[in-house]
């Protein structure tokens, strides 16, 4: 048995912090136009209009939508 844990001497790696930047109106219009007619159009439109992240959009299911209350 070891007297100490060798992992205690190692500092865990941390992901680099990157600052998020919002898409401006001109870039959003270009992106929507470029995506029109592609399978990604709806996902891009949802991301731009709601601020949802990729994982949130991809995790949506039909039962998550409430069309009667527009939610």
Domain hosting 58: range is 23-71
Total tally of structural domains belonging to the chain? 1
The answer to whether 47 and 57 are in contact (CB under 8 A) is: yes
Using one digit for the tens of pLDDT, what is the confidence trace for 39-48?
999 999 999 9
What is the pLDDT, as a whole number, of residue 70?
A: 85
Whether 41 is in a domain gets the answer yes
Whether 34 is in a domain gets the answer yes
What is the pLDDT, as a whole number, of residue 3?
A: 85
Q: pLDDT averaged over the chain?
A: 91
Whether 57 is in a domain gets the answer yes
User: pTM to 2 decimals?
Assistant: 0.63
């Amino acid at each position: 048995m070891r007297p100490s844990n060798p992992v205690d001497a190692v500092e865990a790696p941390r992901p680099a912090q990157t600052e998020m930047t919002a898409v401006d109106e001109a870039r959003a219009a270009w992106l929507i136009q470029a995506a029109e007619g592609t399978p990604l159009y709806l996902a891009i439109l949802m991301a731009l209009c709601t601020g949802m992240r990729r994982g949130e959009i991809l995790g949506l299911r039909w039962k998550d939508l409430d069309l009667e209350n527009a939610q």
